[in-house]
Amino acid sequence: MSTSFENKILDMKEKKEISLELLSYILSEASEEEKEYLMSTAREIAQSVFGKDIYLRGLIEFTNYCKNDCYYCGIRCSNKNASRYRLTEEEILSCCDKGAELGFQTFVLQGGEDPYYTDDKVCEIVSKIKKAHPDCAVTLSIGEKSYESYKRFYDAGADRYLLRHETANEEHYAMLHPASLSGAHRKQCLRDLKEIGFQVGCGIMIGTPHQTIENIYEDILFMQDLQPHMIGIGPFIAHKDTPFKDQPSGSVETTLLILSILRILFPKVLLPATTALGTADAMGREKGILAGANVLMPNLSPSQVRDKYLLYDGKICTGEEAAECNVCLRARMNKIGYQVADSRGDHPDFTGRM
């Protein structure tokens, strides 16, 4: 490996900046040795901030109804083959109870944009979870809402919000979404969420149709401007009932390289090794951790609905119970020399709610 590559990575680590040229080189020309150097640099940074602790977030996929029609997503409203479900408030609370018994201290309520769950209903669910589990963090991932709605969710006790921006480039955004959705609005939502006080997660899929290296570079610039607390990155995987059904999946290797680059640029950010990464490669989550990720998001949804929240084909862990996923992931982490931390796993700079 040339010392010039090593110096470029050290420079990136010091300045927290990457050029388009270096990004292109890493994604299309770097040697195996250079890629390993990048990943080991990222791994060391993650360990210097988080040790060998991996944070767990229990994911509760509470509705697969969605009013949106994103071209890549299996639960888009036009997919008439999707078998739709909604969890009741009692079912959601019982998922949290089960999660708490298993040691989870963060619950992520994720769903399609489902108007059935009015702001009142969301606030009620959030405050009931916080009442039952005051030491736990509640994360919402329910799409684009108004500033006022986000403020209500925050005041009801929600701590964090995940809203991948999907792509920072408007033209690329328009190739992935119908005209009713805009990248500018999605980015504004992220700024609103941050201003309100949420710990905020943005993110992209790797390998979406028409994505270029320039797009990924723009995504990095957007993230540097936003300074999110969490960044969700996973490969795009086609779903058979979407307009992108014949499109190739995103590359696992590119996903790992981007994870490493993000760890170097954002040493303290919460970086999940996603279920999509685990679906694209049986060892994807382990590889993600070894590339610098530090979060896992096992499924806490009831087993009878798991095979219905299908964003993409072949999703893993749809036949398992929460307890099985918990044991499996803890063992997988131990095997690579890491351990699951029994903590809320806030961003290292988080000092409490305002």
Binding mask 199-218 for ligand SAM (x = CB under 6 A): ------x-------------
- With contact defined as beta carbons under 8 Å apart, do 65 and 116 qualify? yes
Nearest-angstrom CA–CA distance, 221 and 161: 21
CB of 112 to ligand SAM, least distance (A): 5
- Torsion sign (Cα): 207, 212, 214, 218: negative
Beta bridge partners of 235: 206
- Phi first, then psi, for residue 338 (nearest 5°) are -115, 170
288: left (phi over 0), alpha (psi -120 to 50) or beta: alpha
Q: Tokens standing for 102?
A: 């298993």
Nearer residue to ligand SAM within complex by CB, 41 or 63: 63
Q: Does 73 bind ligand SAM (CB under 6 A)?
A: yes
Check residue 284 for interaction with ligand SAM (CB under 6 A): no
How many Å separate Cα 285 from the centre of its chain?
13
| Smallest distance, ligand SAM to C-beta of residue 189, A | 9
Is residue 219 involved in binding ligand SAM (CB under 6 A)?
A: no
CA-to-CA dists, residue 61 to 85, 110, 140, 304, angstroms: 10, 5, 11, 12
Of 43, 84, 86, 164, which lies in the binding site for ligand SAM, with binding defined by CB under 6 A? 164
Q: How many residues bind ligand SAM (CB under 6 A)?
A: 19
In angstroms, give the least distance from the CB of 226 to ligand SAM. 15
One residue of 58, 234, 292, 302 binding ligand SAM per CB under 6 A: 234
Whichever of 9 and 258 has its CB closer to ligand SAM, that residue is 258
Query: Distances from the Cα of 65 to the Cαs of 3, 297, 316, in angstroms?
Result: 52, 21, 21
Chain position carrying tokens 């610039």: 221
- The yes or no reply on residue 344 touching ligand SAM (CB under 6 A) is no
**End-to-end alpha-carbon separation of the chain, Å?**
48
114 binds ligand SAM (CB under 6 A): no
The answer to the question of residue 237 lying near ligand SAM (CB under 6 A) is yes
Determine which residue in the list 79, 141, 167, 294 makes contact with ligand SAM, applying CB under 6 A: 141
- Piece of the chain touching ligand SAM by CB under 6 A; list 168-176, 177-185, 235-243, 327-335: 235-243
Tell me which of 143, 183, 284, 288 binds ligand SAM, using CB under 6 A.
Answer: 143
* Interface with ligand SAM (CB under 6 A), residue from 8, 239, 287, 315: 239
CB 242 within 8 Å of CB 79: yes
Under the criterion CB under 6 A, does residue 122 sit at the interface with ligand SAM?
Answer: no
Residues 35, 62, 113, 295: which binds ligand SAM (CB under 6 A)? 113
154 binds ligand SAM (CB under 6 A): no
What tokens appear for 174 in the block? Answer: 């328009």
64 binds ligand SAM, rule: CB under 6 A: no
What does the alpha-carbon distance between residue 93 and residue 58 come to, in Å, rounded to a whole number?
Answer: 12
Distance CA 346, CA 352 (A): 9
**Site residues (vs ligand SAM, CB under 6 A):** 72-73, 110, 112-113, 141-143, 163-164, 166, 205, 234, 236-237, 239, 276, 311-312
